Each structure stands twice: as C-alpha cells, then as structure tokens.
Amino acid sequence: MRVLPYVPMAAALAVIAQLRSPANDYFQFWYAGHLVATGRSPYDPAAWGVASQVYGDKAGIVALSCALPDSPACLWAYPPWVGWLFAPFGFLDPDHGIALQAAFLLVVGIAGVVLLAHAVPLSPAAAMVVRFVAVAAAPFVWASFLGQFDGLLLLGALLVMLGLRDRRAIPLAAGALVLSLKPNLFIALVPLTVALLVARRSWRSFAVTIVTLSAVAAAAIVLDPAWLGSLARATTKVALTAPTTWSLGQSATPGVAPLTIALVLLLSAAAAWSSIRGAPPRLWDATVVASGIALSLVVTPYAHLYDYLLLVPAIAVAIAAVEHHGSAARSLALLAYGGGFFVLTWIAFLVGPHGDESPVNALIPPAVLAGLVLALRRRAGAGGARSQPLPR
C-alpha cells in the first residue's frame, strides 16, 4: 500500500524518461563538462564555435547559438562549478556521456520531488497529487526534454528549507551550493535567508554556508579566472527573449514600462511578505523559502518556463495551509493550486514559441504568490494562529 501514492508519479516519469529533444541543452552541459575534463575553458568562445565542426548534428542547439561565437546566445554565463558538475560525463563520448547525464538529472529531479513531501507536511493524498503535478506539469517535462537541471535546483531548495527548519548547517550549505549553479533564480531568497539566520543568531549555519560558497568561488578564480570576464558580459543575455517581469513591461505597456514593472514587483514583494507573516509555525520556514523563490522569479532578469518548476514548493505550502479544514477544502485546494498550476504551465508551453516564450508567462510567479497569500489568509481566517516575522 505504501507504493500506491507513487504510482501516478512513476507512470508520468515512465513517459517523460523517453522524451528527448533533437535540439537540446544536453549537449551544452556535456560539452562544458568535456571542456573542463580536457583542460579547456567553457568561457572560451572559440571552443564553442568549433563544436558543430567536431560533433556535427550532435551539437544541436549549440551549433545554432554559436554560429557567431561572440553573440549573446553563445555566451557561457554559468559559474565554473556547473562545468565541474558535468565533467564526469564529459570524460565519456557524447552518446554515453549524455545518456548517463540524462539519467543523473532525472534521478536528482525525482529525489527533489519525493523530498518535497517530507519538507512540507502533506497528507498522503495531497502528497500523491503534488508529486504528480510536479513531474507532469510543463516545467519538469520541458526541463527533462531539454536537459536542463531544474530538478537538481528543486532538490537544493528543499535542502535549504530543511536546513532552516531543523537548524542544521550542512543541509543549508549544501542546498546553497546547489542553488548557486543558477544564482539568477534566487535573487530574493538570498537576503531573506541571510536575514533569518542573523535574526536567529544561527552563526554556525551562516558561517558554514559562507565559507563553503567562498571556497568554491576562490577555487574557481584560481582554476579558471576567465569566468569573471564572462560574468561581466552576462548582462547581454538579458537581450534574449525570456518571460520576465522586465520583458513583460516592455512588451505589454511600452509607454509606461517602468510603472508596470514597479507595480508587479511591489505587489509581488507585498504578497511574499504577507505570506511569511501569515504562515503557521509548522510551515514558516517552508513559506520563507517558497515565497522567496517565487519572488526571485518575479525579480530575475533571465528565466524560462522550465525554471518555474521551482514554484512547486509554493504550491505545496498553499495546499498544506488549508488541508486541516477537511477533505472538501483539501480537494478544492488540490484542484485550484495543483490543477491550476498544471493547466496554466501547459497552456504557456503550448502557446510557445519554445526558447523565446511569451513575456505574458512572467505573470505565473505573481499568480502563484497571490494563491499562496489566499491560502494562508484562509487559514488565518479560520482561526489559525499567525507567526511573527523572523522567529527565533
């Protein structure tokens, strides 16, 4: 009977594991690992420019993006430890290396989804639905299809959540290191976490995390100092079409773009803070992380629809917040939050175009934050006790 809650998720994963885009990011990450494994630098544009000449059709989207090696689309803007992560696969030939890489990313993604139900207290029925929605909604499917590592980022976010909840330094530092693989997706979460650690005087957790990140960054500067120059050019990536608040303001209201952007940012920040203020003690740390990530996706200058997998913790917290009202409330929450996220992300995906998604998709993170506020207000309105900000 214990296996039954995993059946819907397993069925979805059985289909997803067969998917593979002919023009994908699997090669990009394998090739970055291959450059590291062979003593070269992913920050050398010339190395990317010759990929199609050496590997032909296997180079996929890299060949298209790097037809002009100095173009923003060809810029490797990830921190060096992303290349280190994929270096073990880079020692192998593309076919075997990418196959193992795909299996690794799928396994860590599954681990993140399974851990979600342990990090956020959910009933077995709710956990089953949340797991299914997490893997069957468009972000996870598209990340798996393309070879992006957002499943690993979800695992990192949950490690941060557990580290804060249990006051443990090692999970927090490990989670922070994982999240630093794509730091642009966690801009708001960082100051929230720092503020919480300082308010709690969790100096050991703070120190271990800072030392871990600093040691990795220092090693990167020594091993491949070219990455600092690449970061200086990373702002050119913003010129590429992506569903962000910034592109939404420019495309939807070009005449008053700054006003639109400011309004979305302010409302989202207010929603995140209201969620944190209204969270019950058992959900407080989970709410901080979930709302911090959702707000980060509102603020970030660069993200894609597959990155919205990181909104799943907020969906889980919203469902957990109203579960105690009974089965009817739980069913409504599963339909509204889980089903709504599933449908909304698939509509966004099917509308396309893929890789240059509509800026309107940037409304999904604010919508998730709004849903989180409503769920927590419903709980408070039913007599639930509110927690104070930054509890010790």
- For the stretch 41-82, pLDDT in tens is 999 888 888 887 888 888 878 877 777 777 777 788 899 999
DSSP state of 225: T
Statement: residue 306 has pLDDT above 70:
yes
Nearest to 294 by CA among 275, 276, 310: 310
Tell me the average pLDDT of the chain. 88
Single-letter code of the amino acid located at 207: A
pLDDT, average across residues 146-171:
96
What lies within 8 Å, CB to CB, of 70 at 6+ separation is: 45
Res 382 pLDDT > 60: no
- pTM beyond 0.85: the answer is yes
Break the chain into its structural domains and give their ranges.
4-381
Share of the chain above pLDDT 90, in %: 62
The size of the chain, in residues, is 392
Most confident of 77-81, 91-95, 154-158: 154-158
Tell me the torsion sign for CA atoms 184, 186, 192, 198.
Answer: negative
pLDDT in tens, 97-106: 999 999 999 9
Pick from 226-240, 289-303, 313-327: least confident: 226-240
Using CA atoms, how far residue 16 sits from 157, 262, 350, in Å, is 22, 38, 17
Number of C-beta neighbours around residue 19 at 10 A: 13
In the predicted structure, residue 288 carries a pLDDT above the cut 80: yes
Helices and strands of the chain, counted as H and E runs: 21, 0
- Which residues, in sequence order, are CB contacts of 293 under 8 Å at separation 6+? 157, 185, 186, 188, 189, 310, 311, 313, 314
Retrieve residue 374's tokens: 């409503």
Q: What is the mean pLDDT of residues 132-160?
A: 94
pLDDT in tens, 360-374: 999 999 999 999 999
pLDDT of residue 206 exceeding 50, the answer is: yes
How confident is residue 35, by pLDDT bands cut at 50, 70 and 90? very high
Q: Which residues contact 35 (CB under 8 A, 6 or more apart)?
A: 41, 42, 44, 47, 83, 90
Burial (CB count within 10 angstroms: exposed 0-12, middle 13-18, buried 19+), residue 390: middle
Is 220's pLDDT higher than 80? Answer: yes
Nearest to 291 by CA among 304, 308, 306, 274: 274
pLDDT tens by residue, 327-361: 777 788 888 899 999 999 999 988 876 666 888 99
Which H helix or E strand runs over 382? none
pLDDT of residue 330: 74
Stronger pLDDT, 387 or 87, i.e. the higher one: 87
